[in-house]
A and B are shown apart, each in its own frame.
Chain A
Amino acid sequence: GQQVMQIPQYQHVQEGEDFTTYCNSSTTLSNIQWYKQRPGGHPVFLIQLVKSGEVKKQKRLTFQFGEAKKNSSLHITATQTTDVGTYFCAGPASNFGNEKLTFGTGTRLTIIP
């Protein structure tokens, strides 16, 4: 079945350093979504990418969708303590629309103040 892997599994950074998480799908995706889950919280939608090679920015966050639409990345510039949490990518299952998302394994980000 479809697998969505993320690396790294954990990342500890000093506040102010940059952070990147990479997402790789075993199948081509029609789109990819990113979610953030704060410790003790629930996943919150961040963004969706649809086009091959698409790049979107949200303040210090930069999201990229690969040319082959099988991988994606999230880069955070100059991390802050508010960035702490687990970041998930998610893509629709190939035989479904977005009613069935396969979530990535997640990258847990901790910030050292």
Chain B
Amino acid sequence: DTAVSQTPKYLVTQMGNDKSIKCEQNLGHDTMYWYKQDSKKFLKIMFSYNNKELIINETVPNRFSPKSPDKAHLNLHINSLELGDSAVYFCASSPIPRKSYEQYFGPGTRLTVT
């Protein structure tokens, strides 16, 4: 059973388009995240949700809008895609907020904007 799953795995699209990435976790975790990993492998947090509530919103352009319909799902919608949005986007989850627990990452979505 996949713990954290993401769809799609690959996404190739043109500048200006709008796209969505979906994430689901079956671990029963309370907290979910979106990370962006650039071509140099730097991993940066974008958003964090705890029980459907947004708790972290890093300085991300407002073209990026996360949505958590329930605590098992966290989606990411991106409007007006730009070349610089090309990266691997990872969803992750962790069991308990404000505790020292590991994060479980999904397989990633490789977004290529042309």
Task: Kindly list chain B residues whose C-beta atoms are within 8 Å of the C-beta of A98.
Answer: 94, 97-101, 103
How many chain B residues touch A (CB < 8 A): the figure is 26
Is B105 a contact of A30 with CB atoms below 8 Å?
Answer: no
How many chain A residues touch B (CB < 8 A): the figure is 25
Measured CB to CB, the closest approach of chain A to B74, in angstroms, equals 13
Is B100 a contact of A100 with CB atoms below 8 Å?
Answer: no
Is A106 a contact of B101 with CB atoms below 8 Å?
Answer: no
> When A31-B100, A98-B101, A105-B42 are in contact, do A42 and B56 touch as well, CB less than 8 Å?
no
B106 within 8 A of A: yes
A27 within 8 A of B: no
Is B108 a contact of A42 with CB atoms below 8 Å?
Answer: yes
Is B100 a contact of A48 with CB atoms below 8 Å?
Answer: yes
Pick 19 A–B contacts, CB within 8 A, sort by A: A30-B100, A33-B102, A33-B103, A41-B107, A42-B90, A43-B105, A45-B102, A45-B104, A48-B100, A86-B41, A96-B56, A98-B99, A98-B101, A99-B33, A99-B48, A99-B50, A99-B56, A99-B98, A100-B45
Which B positions have Cβ atoms within 8 angstroms of A? 31, 33, 41-45, 48, 50, 55-56, 90, 92, 94, 97-108
